[in-house]
Amino acid sequence: MSSPGTSTETLSPEPRLLLTVDAPSLLHRNHHARVDSGLRDQGGRPAWALHGMLRQILEVIDQFAPDAVVFGLDDRTASVRTETYPAYKAGRRPKDPTLVDQLERASALLDALGLLTVTPAGLEADDVSASAATWAEASGWSCVIVTSDRDSFAHISERTRVLRLINGGINGSPLLNPARLRTLYGIAAEHYLEYAALRGDTSDNLPGVPGIGEKSAPVLLSQMGSMQSVWADIDHCEGANLVAALDSYCEEEGLRRLGPGLLKRLTAPGARERFEFNLSLMSGRTDLDLGLTPDVPGTPGLLPLDADRVARVVGHLGVPSTTDLALRVLTEPPASVGG
């Protein structure tokens, strides 16, 4: 019997949480941040990037208590995007051989722990993140994407947040939801991909629509709602509503007129084609089979993990404090299971 004043209503349980990790972005970041440590595993192989990535993920798991963890990896042997656009990511400096070694060993390390890795043929870790967010939405789960890149911002929703690891570690990194993304970029989460396609991405060697950048793109999208509306207005009334909406906004904000100039740039030869091409190349695949079966005990990626495996695999890195942390956060039931 409940005590006086105590509600007898059953509270709805929190949705289970899927943590999806952009492993290559974290390995790159930790390689550059920790190379001076010269850390090697017990076999004498370079391990600073692997250890740094794992340490960060253990701290994230400790903070968020996920029910499952999946790591996305790039296919290092083939690229559908490079086949489509040979200049994709061209111009980047060759990777340090010690980083390449650790990128190639990441899957074996994580699989040996009992975590789940997905290396989609011809695709990238961001495609795994996109599919994980879609899977979580369809399954009634929440999702947190861990990355150091901006690509995953396109997947932010009411169920999916992005923890962008930057300087300052876990506690100093922003956890982005739709409201915070709008505060930072002035756009709705569902329009981030269109914003990125307009702006372009220099790191991937993708130029944006000429004359439209990080300041004008959010204004365009906030006033017109979507690029579909923009193109429809241009097609049906030569952009008259676009110009009127932008000029009205500028008048209210005390800014110089933007409408005619943006219309001219959007209707310039190749502008729409550039936007559509960027959109197609930047879009993450949402239909990958992650192999996650949460109702089957022992499925890779489900927490908790086997303590002996954790001690053996993490212990091979030769950092006792990380082994202790791994045993604590990986071998105990997550909060949503353990109550």
- Distance between CA atoms of residues 227 and 275, nearest Å: 9
Mean predicted lDDT score pLDDT of the chain: 93
Q: Which residues contact 106 (CB under 8 A, 6 or more apart)?
A: 23, 27, 50, 53, 71, 73, 117
pLDDT (tens digit, 9 = 90+) per residue, 84-120?
999 999 888 899 999 999 999 999 999 999 999 999 9
pLDDT (tens digit, 9 = 90+) per residue, 157-171?
999 999 999 876 788
Per-residue CA distances from 55 to 26, 47, 205, 274 (Å): 11, 12, 31, 40
- Collapse the DSSP code of 20 into the 3-class scheme (helix H, G, I; strand E, B; otherwise coil) and give the result: strand
pLDDT band, residue 335 (cuts 50/70/90): low
Print the SS3 string covering the chain: CCCCCCCCCCCCCCCCEEEEEEHHHHHHHHHHHHHHHCCECCCCCECHHHHHHHHHHHHHHHHHCCCEEEEECCCCCCCHHHHHCCCCCCCCCCCCHHHHHHHHHHHHHHHHHCCEEECCCCCCHHHHHHHHHHHHHHHCCEEEEEECCCHHHHHCCCCEEEEECCCCCCCCCCEECHHHHHHHHCCCHHHHHHHHHHHEEHHHCEECCCCCCCCHHHHHHHHHCCHHHHHHHHHHHCCHHHHHHHHHHHHHHCCCCCHHHHHHHHCCCCHHHHHHHHHHHHCCCCCCCCCCCCCCCCCCCECCCCHHHHHHHHHCCCCHHHHHHHHHHHCCCCHHHHC
Q: For 84, phi and psi rounded to 5 degrees? A: -75, -40
Q: What is the mean pLDDT of residues 175-198?
A: 95
- Distance between CA atoms of residues 71 and 73, nearest Å: 6
> Which pTM was predicted?
0.91
- Distance between CA atoms of residues 124 and 40, nearest Å: 27
pLDDT (tens digit, 9 = 90+) per residue, 300-332?
999 999 999 999 999 999 999 999 999 999 998
Q: What is the mean pLDDT of residues 128-142?
A: 97
pLDDT (tens digit, 9 = 90+) per residue, 209-228?
999 999 999 999 999 999 99
pLDDT band, residue 11 (cuts 50/70/90): low
Domains of the chain, CATH where assigned: 17-185+285-338 (3.40.50.1010), 191-282 (1.10.150.20)
The answer to whether residue 278 scores a pLDDT higher than 70 is yes
Q: What is the pLDDT of residue 169?
A: 76
- Distance between CA atoms of residues 253 and 267, nearest Å: 25
Q: Which residues are paired to 118 by β-bridges?
A: 72
Q: What is the pLDDT of residue 337?
A: 46
